Structure 1
Amino acid sequence: MRGQFDMGKNKKWKSQFIVVALGQAISMLGSQGVQFALIWWLAEKTSSPLMLGISGIVAYLPMSLFSPIAGIAADRYNRKFISIFSDMTMGMIALIYAVLLFFLDLPVWTVFVMLCVRGIGSTFQQPAIQSIIPQLVPKDQLVKTNGWMQLLNSGSFLLGPVIGASLYAIFPMSVVLMSDVVGAILASVALAVVKIPKLEKTENEKQRFVTEIKEGLQVFREDKKLFYIVIAEALCMFFYAPLSSFYPLMTSDYFDLSAMYGSAVELSFAIGMIV
């Protein structure tokens, strides 16, 4: 990724990093909470393994399809705009769906549209915000700041489902969705007020998307160890993803337990990731 911190131009990097990190933390908490609530709502409404399986596909398939494009876009274009636009798009979709859900009796399949749009938005937002951090902090602080961002990400996996379950137990789904809207607005405002250094233009930008994707694939051909690691991870996710999608259904339908117990399952998984 291009973009490097300039000490002479950005002496207030700590305050800027904190603003961006806090905004992202609030957004991730809201997103994880709503994601959990949506899946749980679908499990209670349908009690269908097929519907839960489809929800997992539409939520994670966009990441597989658009990740190469999203990475190149974050490298070539305005990362700040991509991050804000992705966040606000997900927030706007959540707002529209919340209003429709409040006034209309929507069919349950409409949640697939929500999950798909959220998946696409997240696919473009994550590499953009990850690429912004090196532009804000000194090179010798990157390991520390990346560690903090990873901690915030893990924290959202820990607390997000708990927050989502609590909100789902108290409020209707249309109100729960508003937490995603609030998180998107706060994250976008936090990023908007921070001045991000402009990227220097390079000759590589004249390359086409297809050329850069081919170059990325060539890296896997040349580095067999990296290729095997990626394949192993892909296989693990292939077998784990269906199981994770059925956790809410197992908890609500088979064990006849509430959303709070479902959040405990997600919490246990997140703790295992940290350990």
Structure 2
Amino acid sequence: MQNNDTALFNRNFILVVIGQVVSILGSALLRFALSTYVLDLTGRADIFAALLAISTIPSIILSPIGGAIADRFNRRNLMILFDFTSSAVVLSFVFFLLAGNASVILIGIVMVLLGIISAMYQPAVQASIPVLTKEDNLEKANGIVNGVGALSNLAGPVLGGVLYSMVGIYVLVIVSCVAFFLSAIMEIFIKMPFSKREQNDHIVPTLFKDMKSGFIYVLKQPYILKAMILAAVLNLFLTPFFLVGTPYMMRVTLQSSDAMYGISLGIIQFSSILGALTIGIFAKKMKITNLYRWLILISILILPMALAVSPLIVRLGYFPSFILFFLCAIPIVMAMTIVSIFVITIVQKQTPNDLLGKVMAIITAVAQCAAPIGQILYGALFEAFSLSVYFPILIMFAMMLLISAAAKVMLRNEEVIA
């Protein structure tokens, strides 16, 4: 281990990573418990998708504010504050559960509140990584943070699937509450460089001026604009499929047990881990101009997924459908993760530290604008084609081919060096 404060495996970076593991594990357990509870309560994909979409809206609206706050205040202190707040929100929900008032509306309110906190929390984390590691290690650092996040998201559904049927939603929610609290405690011991910036006005107009400077910077960077557009389109047609379509097909179409349902969601997160761990292998050969090839690969792998849930394969039993579906889903999610880390790393390297929180938050907000639309779209499609769930997948295949062609044209003249 190196003593340099910007070395990859320094004490402060490790504490950030551990804090992320615990916090994201708590979030994953809570998300699994609430989503499974809603699906079991209603059995409807459209209601499930609507809740996911509603919880995404705060990130779209508030991420730029969160980015401005992350660049203006001590990022470590912000992470501590937001984890403590998440713990308090979940603790309040526990009391409602114990009183027997766990309605779909209440669950929606909790998800919105946690979405608001996440919109403030994530820019602080993303802007902290370049401060705690050398630029040469930034790709690996992003891969590690992404990988441990995916690992926690993997453990969440798998552990949740086992515990949900054994101990119920109450214990899972309490565990997530404790996880947020422990993450905040660990973050207290992080030492992070912070230089207080001069403030000549009240905090509200200052934050709006900071956001304006972030938007101006983004508008002057053609690569960032194109990356945001591409991310928004993928959030409309590809990402929502794994958030809405996969849980619906596993739980309703294939009627997975609690354990198998948890494993199926865990496999998606495991694929993200594989993508994060292999980023070092592919990054040196990747270029902005050839990202379309990755999208074409994803498009090709979508077709067998449609076949996996077609009546022809479903008649053969649960496991043939399950295996074929995830043989394709794993490389798709790996490719999505690799492309995401590659693009984020380039943006981080190009952006000054005093603008980093705002720029990353603006990218997140713009990219996520399409997510609620995509989630509601897939919810409606899977509800309408509940007896032929392969049809929405075929629509996704056609759209991904178009996106691949558009990416080839849009990024052909970009020569950004990672």
TM-score normalised to structure 2 length: 0.58
Which 10-residue stretch deviates more, 106-115 or 217-226? Answer: 217-226
State the Cα distance separating 1:129 from its structure 2 match.
2.4
Which secondary structure state, in structure 2, belongs to the residue aligned with residue 177 of structure 1? helix
Which 10-residue stretch deviates more, 81-90 or 131-140? Answer: 131-140
Alignment of 1:86-101 (within 5 A): 86-101=82-97
| 2:268 equivalent to 1:269 | yes
Alignment of 1:119-130 (within 5 A): 119-130=115-126
Counterpart code for 1:208: T
1:223 maps to 221
1:239 maps to 237
CA–CA distance in 1 between the matches of 2:217 and 2:57? Answer: 23
1:47 maps to 43
| 2:98 equivalent to 1:102 | yes
CA–CA distance in 2 between the matches of 1:98 and 1:66? Answer: 26
| 2:309 equivalent to 1:249 | no
2:74 maps to 78
State the Cα distance separating 1:41 from its structure 2 match.
0.9
CA–CA distance in 2 between the matches of 1:40 and 1:77? Answer: 37
Alignment of 1:174-189 (within 5 A): 174-189=170-185
CA–CA distance in 2 between the matches of 1:238 and 1:61? Answer: 14
Tell me the alpha carbon deviations over residues 18-73 of structure 1, each in whole angstroms, 9 at most, x when there is no partner: 23321221111121121122111100001122311221112211111111111110
Runs (5+) with no aligned partner, structure 1: 1-5
Which 10-residue stretch deviates more, 234-243 or 46-55? Answer: 234-243
CA–CA distance in 2 between the matches of 1:139 and 1:216? Answer: 21
State the Cα distance separating 1:142 from its structure 2 match.
4.2
2:153 maps to 157
State the Cα distance separating 1:261 from its structure 2 match.
2.4
Counterpart code for 1:132: S
Which 10-residue stretch deviates more, 133-142 or 104-113? Answer: 133-142
Q: Which has the larger radius of gyration?
A: 2
Which 10-residue stretch deviates more, 181-190 or 196-205? Answer: 196-205
Could you tell me whether the CA contact under 8 Å between 1:30 and 1:183 is conserved in 2? yes
Could you tell me whether the CA contact under 8 Å between 1:87 and 1:188 is conserved in 2? yes
CA–CA distance in 2 between the matches of 1:98 and 1:145? Answer: 35
The answer to which structure, 1 or 2, has the higher relative contact order (CA under 8 A, 6+ apart) is 1
Which secondary structure state, in structure 2, belongs to the residue aligned with residue 21 of structure 1? helix
Which 10-residue stretch deviates more, 247-256 or 117-126? Answer: 247-256
**Number of equivalences:** 268
Q: CA RMSD in A?
A: 2.8
CA–CA distance in 2 between the matches of 1:79 and 1:226? Answer: 23
Which 10-residue stretch deviates more, 73-82 or 96-105? Answer: 96-105
Tell me the alpha carbon deviations over residues 188-218 of structure 1, each in whole angstroms, 9 at most, x when there is no partner: 1111123333324257999733333333333
State the Cα distance separating 1:157 from its structure 2 match.
2.8
1:199 maps to 195
Could you tell me whether the CA contact under 8 Å between 1:88 and 1:185 is conserved in 2? yes
Counterpart code for 2:230: A
CA–CA distance in 1 between the matches of 2:54 and 2:149? Answer: 22
Which 10-residue stretch deviates more, 69-78 or 215-224? Answer: 215-224
What percentage of aligned pairs have identical amino acids? 25
Which 10-residue stretch deviates more, 127-136 or 91-100? Answer: 127-136
Give the 3 Å change call, closer, same or farther, for CA 222–197 of structure 1 in structure 2.
closer
Could you tell me whether the CA contact under 8 Å between 1:56 and 1:241 is conserved in 2? no
State the Cα distance separating 1:238 from its structure 2 match.
1.8
Tell me the alpha carbon deviations over residues 111-151 of structure 1, each in whole angstroms, 9 at most, x when there is no partner: 00111111111121112123334444455554443332222
Could you tell me whether the CA contact under 8 Å between 1:33 and 1:161 is conserved in 2? yes
1:18 maps to 14
1:3 maps to none
Which secondary structure state, in structure 2, belongs to the residue aligned with residue 131 of structure 1? helix
CA–CA distance in 2 between the matches of 1:19 and 1:208? Answer: 31
Could you tell me whether the CA contact under 8 Å between 2:75 and 2:128 is conserved in 1? yes
